[in-house]
Amino acid sequence: MNPLADALAAPLEHRDDAILILPDGREVTGRALHDLSGQMANALVRAGVVPGDRVAMQTEKSPDALALYLACLRAGALFLPLNTAYTPAELDYFLGDAEPRVAVVDPKAHGALAPIADDKGTHLLTLDAQGAGSLANAAAKEPTEFKTAPRDADDVSVILYTSGTTGRAKGAMLTHGNLLSNAEALAECWRFTSDDTLLHALPIFHAHGLFVAANIMLRVGGRMVFLPRFDQEQVIAALRNVTTMMGVPTFYTRLLGDERLTRDLVGHIRLFVSGSAPLLAETHREFETRTGHRILERYGMTETSMNTSNPYDGERRAGSVGFPLPGVTARVADADTGVALPDGETGILEIKGPNVFKGYWRMPEKTAEEFRDDGFFITGDMARRDADGYISIVGRAKDLVISGGYNVYPKEVETEIDEMPGVLESAVIGVPHPDFGEAVLAVVVSEPGASISAGDVAAALAGRLAKFKQPKLVEFLSELPRNTMGKVQKNVLRDQFKGTFSG
Ligand code: MLC
Ligand code: AMP
């Protein structure tokens, strides 16, 4: 038994029809994807990978990258996908922490990453967006048959890194059971079948694109129009050929900004899903007015995959994330005590269920800190449950900015800025942004006599932090607002700069 390989990869072997449809019209059959995953699994084993080893991937999205995910599942390796925006400095940490046996990277990054991989004892292979590279060369020499390694439901299948409020990224360990139960619950709730074609424009290195979108479609045996990224032209063109679409709120606001989004264009579509960041009630309503579709909003996170969803049938309420998924228990609790609060009150949202992760990679203390004694996981999101059961996310107890669906932990950015000579201190906040929902803004206090410009800050961060983490604007103040305890009042700063991008 290997729960995810059996459910997601094995059925592909008998599919001679298209599973992936690419923007240039090329199609990839289930059998082709399965064969490639078998060859890649053999190549990984030949590179020394044994069950339980980590295999990191930082490559462009492609059918081959998806095949690598399936290859890892089949080989019993822990798949560790990394954002393509991460810099070599960031990769240094991930490779050091996860100690992958193999890392598959873009050939363009090979030069910069080779010394890092060498230092960690990681074997570096390459794969580009067209499926070429040393992994492809090695796989081409291998047979397509591969004997899938046995795994239990409780075995870890994927490690996804997510930063912490302390700034140090933590590897969330998701088991076969976590991911399969979630894909099955979502497929059922959202009525996915083999008749569906999903517009897949999300990256596959995060929970949304990999676990929600790809896992569901592989589970039900549907098709994906597999776009390398959210490209407005390609998305508009693809909408005619799909039955469903999933996206972060930025996808929907960008579509609304395009006059080609009409009832005629999307009338045949059965479902639009949004998540990863709050969908403004205003966007929800505007989308309905324009297209007649009520977007179905759901809520999840890296550690838990999906937790709640608006109903497929019944009211999809703007500004709400709906009800717990089947098998998932959600409680709104007092942040200090964990005691459940009555409906209507705001508290911290806590989750228990088969979807909740096994823990952070090699961080038992951090793991323990985020669970209550009775097994509930503390999400760090503030929520309210209405009397009719609908849950709304009303804020965050964690210091986190979500920009275009990507998480940015202010602490990580502040640490980099504070290290600059001439900087006394800094505060990084999220402010409303018409495209990204929230944008990263840094407030910097220079040391007396030092002259630092916004350009200096940008230059210091370039190459250190992924582009999406870099502030869209740097402001200077003579001091940061503090409360009587000396704590920086970020709410005061957020209020002061809230109109920066949204007018
Ligand atoms: C790109 N940039 C971003 C950014 N994405 N800046 C801030 N936030 C982002 N999200 C940078 C680019 O490097 C570029 O910099 C500039 O901003 C404009 O780029 P763009 O061409 O407009 O961006 P684009 O490539 O179109 O990407 C935007 C996006 C993308 C929204 C399509 O970010 C995206 O696909 N986001 C989805 C993220 C996601 O999948 N999240 C799920 C996490 S899972 P410059 O200066 O070079 O021009 C999770 C759990 C759950 O959260 O519940 O689902
Ligand atoms: P990540 O750690 O990348 O998985 O991000 C998870 C976080 O995204 C959650 O803890 C929430 O703060 C946020 N999030 C995801 N979906 C929603 C949603 N529908 N509404 C509001 N916030 C969301």
SS (H, E, C) 42-57: HHHHHCCCCCCCEEEE
420-439 residue pLDDT tens: 999 999 999 999 999 999 99
User: Among 207, 179, 202, which residue's Cα sits nearest to residue 300?
Assistant: 207
By the 10 Å C-beta count (0-12 exposed, 13-18 middle, 19+ buried), 31 is classed as middle
Where do runs of H (alpha helix) occur along 381-453?
410-418
User: Among 162, 253, 248, 174, which residue's Cα sits nearest to residue 213?
Assistant: 248
* pLDDT at 165 > cutoff 70: no
CB distance 302 to ligand 2 below 6 Å = yes
* pLDDT at 167 > cutoff 80: no
Token pair of 198 as six digits: 């999903």
User: Among 43, 77, 23, 89, which residue's Cα sits nearest to residue 233?
Assistant: 23
**pTM of this structure:** 0.97
Query: How far, in Å, CA of 426 to CA of 457, rounded?
Result: 11
Q: What is the pLDDT of residue 166?
A: 66
> Measured in angstroms, how far is the CA atom of residue 438 from the centroid of ligand 2?
13
Question: Which of 381, 436, 472 has most ligand 1 atoms within 8 Å of CB, for mutation?
Answer: 436
Query: How far, in Å, CA of 136 to CA of 8, rounded?
Result: 22
Query: How far, in Å, CA of 104 to CA of 112, rounded?
Result: 13
Number of the ligand 1 atom closest to the C-alpha atom of 201: 35
Token pair of 392 as six digits: 């709304």
> Measured in angstroms, how far is the CA atom of residue 56 from the centroid of ligand 1?
21
Q: How far, in whole angstroms, is CA 251 from its chain's centroid? A: 14
Sheet containing 423-433: which strands, arranged edge to edge?
Answer: 423-433, 437-446, 473-476
> What's the pLDDT band for 502 if we cut at 50, 70, 90?
confident
User: Atom 47, ligand 1: which residue's CA is nearest?
Assistant: 467
CB distance 430 to ligand 1 below 6 Å = no
Angle, alpha carbons 202-93-470 (nearest 5°): 55
Q: What is the pLDDT of residue 168?
A: 78
> Measured in angstroms, how far is the CA atom of residue 301 from the centroid of ligand 2?
5
At what angle are helices 249-256 and 281-291 packed, to 10 degrees? 50
Q: What is the pLDDT of residue 464?
A: 93
207-258 residue pLDDT tens: 999 999 999 999 999 999 999 999 999 999 999 999 999 999 999 999 999 9
User: Atom 6, ligand 1: which residue's CA is nearest?
Assistant: 468
User: Atom 17, ligand 1: which residue's CA is nearest?
Assistant: 468
User: Atom 6, ligand 2: which residue's CA is nearest?
Assistant: 301
- How far, in Å, are 253, 273, 279, 289, 320 from residue 284 at the CA level? 10, 11, 7, 9, 11
Cβ atoms of 361 and 159 closer than 8 Å = yes
| Ligand number nearest to the C-alpha of 473 | 1
Query: How far, in Å, CA of 115 to CA of 254, rounded?
Result: 40
| Ligand number nearest to the C-alpha of 203 | 1
Q: How far, in whole angstroms, is CA 188 from its chain's centroid? A: 22
What is the phi-psi region of residue 107: left when phi exceeds 0, alpha when psi lies from -120 to 50, beta otherwise? alpha
321-342 residue pLDDT tens: 999 999 999 999 999 999 999 9
CB distance 352 to ligand 1 below 6 Å = no
User: Atom 33, ligand 1: which residue's CA is nearest?
Assistant: 404
CB distance 250 to ligand 1 below 6 Å = yes
CB distance 64 to ligand 2 below 6 Å = no
